[in-house]
Amino acid sequence: MGILSSSVSITRYRVNGKIEQPVLETISNKLEKRKIREIDGKTDQVSVGWTCFDDPYHPDFLLNRSFVIGNYIVFAMRLDKKSIPSKLVKKLYIEKSKRRLKETGRDFLTRDEKEGISDGIIKKLCISIPAAPNVYDIIWNCEENWLWFFTNVKSANEALETLFQETFEMRLVRIFPYTLARNSFLNNDAKIDLLHQLAHK
């Protein structure tokens, strides 16, 4: 997942839009605003945000300017997730349901009561279970409008596309056979027509 790992995977993107001047100030402010929020000891199950490439567990984009390397912006997306074992939830749910039935003297629970029990168990477990962090490095060339994301994992790519749009108000367009062909045939409508015809043959 890391740029410097011995084996990496890369998904390429084209960045649609221009970052406002001054570029580095704008980027550092926006990254800081949406940096990863710690969720350990909290009821949240997932947290997604930006982090520093060289210090992913203590991000600070205002003090740490190491995200600029040469002509590139080098940072990372961190996706923290708590894994709640479903079998544990089931066990605690059965125990709590039985207790509730005994307390109320009824022989059934309403749908709202069932949902309330289940939500309460998950929230309580979330507070005690620490989140596992996944760090995915990013290289962004603002001048040439491209970005490399160091994973091919679908859920991570989808999280990146959403977070990037929310942070920078610019769209990431994934590079795949069609989009790369469009880039290659830029401003040549005749070639683009021929490309579209291929899909109908």
Nearer to other proteins, 5 or 83 (CB): 5
Binding characters for other proteins, 33-72, by CB under 8 A (x = yes):
---------------------x-----------x--xx-x
Q: Which of positions 103-132 make contact with other proteins (CB under 8 A)?
A: none
- Residue 93 found at the interface with other proteins (CB under 8 A): no
- Residue 4 found at the interface with other proteins (CB under 8 A): yes
Give 101-148 as a DSSP string.
Answer: HHHHT-S---HHHHHHHHHHHHHHHHHHSPPEEEEEEEEEETTTTEEE
CB of 176 to other proteins, least distance (A): 5
- Residue 195 found at the interface with other proteins (CB under 8 A): yes
8 A C-beta contact, residue 109 and residue 98: no
Residue corresponding to tokens 């409008």: 145
Round to whole Å and give the CA distance between 84 and 123.
Answer: 10
- Residue 170 found at the interface with other proteins (CB under 8 A): no
Handedness of CA 196, 185, 23, 65 (dihedral sign): positive
- Residue 7 found at the interface with other proteins (CB under 8 A): yes
Residue span binding other proteins (CB under 8 A) among the ranges 10-18, 40-48, 77-85, 87-95? 10-18
Nearer to other proteins, 20 or 176 (CB): 176
Nearer to other proteins, 117 or 149 (CB): 149
How deeply is 170 buried, as exposed, middle or buried, from its count of CB atoms within 10 A (0-12, 13-18, 19+)? Answer: middle
